[in-house]
Amino acid sequence: MWNKILAFGRDRRGAIAVLFAVAIYPVMMMIVAAIDLSRMSQQQARLQAALDAA
């Protein structure tokens, strides 16, 4: 019984899946933030161009 419990604790298979699941959230948030900031900058440039043309 103890051998199975200890073997379960030493088993590393599937650990990368857990690491990926935990790490993907901050990575996706950074990508979304970069896209959002880019779109905001483009909108601000368009607004400024419209104000300059008026």
Radius of gyration of the chain (CA): 24
Residue 6: inside a domain: no
- The confidence score (pLDDT) of residue 54 equals 81
Residue 13 phi, psi dihedral angles, 5° rounding: -65, 135
Q: What pLDDT shows up at residue 4?
A: 74
DSSP-derived letter for residue 12 is -
Question: Quick one: pLDDT at residue 5?
Answer: 72
- The pTM of the full predicted model, rounded to 2 decimals, is 0.62
Domain that holds residue 31: 14-53
Q: What is the mean pLDDT of each run of 10 residues along the chain (54 residues)?
A: 72 78 95 98 97 91
- Domain membership of residue 23 (yes or no) is yes
Scanning the structure block, which residue is given the tokens 């950074």? 30
Question: What DSSP line would sit under the chain, residue for residue?
Answer: -HHHHHHHHH--TTHHHHHHHHHHHHHHHHHHHHHHHHHHHHHHHHHHHHHHH-
What is the number of domains present in the chain? 1
